[in-house]
Structure 1
Amino acid sequence: MSNFDEQLSKHIAELSKEKQPERDLFRGIELGIEAQRESNEETQGQGVSSNQWLAIAASVCLVTVLWLSAPFAFKPDESKNDNYALVDAMSSQQQQQVSSLLASYQSTPSIDRRLAAAVKRIG
């Protein structure tokens, strides 16, 4: 082994096995634990504040007013009834047109009869 290696081994042996912190860490840990306990105690013991009760009461009142006024505020639109009348009129007109087309189709001779008559004339 070289001289450098021997000195390095000597210095390593002289070092302590434990690394000590530069400052006391327990005080910071203790303060953190206490702060967490205090915040937990505040949130558990507090319950619902008066402002929260007022907000809840106002919300309930608003929902009640809206629920009671809904039938008056949202009256059925009269123009929808006019649209339904238009749809009914167009439907009946379409049904009449279909009936007249069926009647005219039934009065014309079928293609088979025409074809048979043409074949008789030719043959």
Structure 2
Amino acid sequence: MRKQDFEQTLQDKLAELDAQKQPERDLWPGIELALVKQQDDENNVRILNGRDGHIKQSDGHIKQSDGIGRWALLAAGIVMVALLSWKGLMPSEPMITGNDLVAALSAQHAEQKSALLVQYEGQTALTKNWQQQLVELDSAAQAIKKALENEPNNMALLKMLQSVHQQQINLIERVHSPKWSQI
């Protein structure tokens, strides 16, 4: 189809349209939203003007500014990388590992266990063989500590030791808890 024929066909179709035809729904909310969005976009460009190195001209085109924004971003990036590298090279608190960790865990557990035993010293226990169970858990902890002497950084053994310690604490608390709180 040639351009003249297209233009003539378009004009004919437009003339046939009903001039009084109304849209099926109210179109103003969508138009208003588009206008507000366009205004917000223009405001954002004005706010960012100079920060991103672009300036919006009155004809709507964006031109590159003198590049000060790019240099500032580059400098900020270099400073951030330098700070992160420096922080990574600084010695942090030394982590306790190996035999020192086992000793620290054991000392902390011994304190907690003795504090609980002192707290419940005057109370009667709910079972009679709880001290035998405590001794059995102690021997299990000793066996784990002996294994940790050969592999001081073995996480599975360290978790087992913590579990045995926690079982001892739970045993002491459960045995000495008041009868009214038992179900």
> Normalization by structure 2: what TM-score?
0.24
The structure with the greater share of residues assigned to helix is 1
Highest CA radius of gyration, 1 or 2?
1
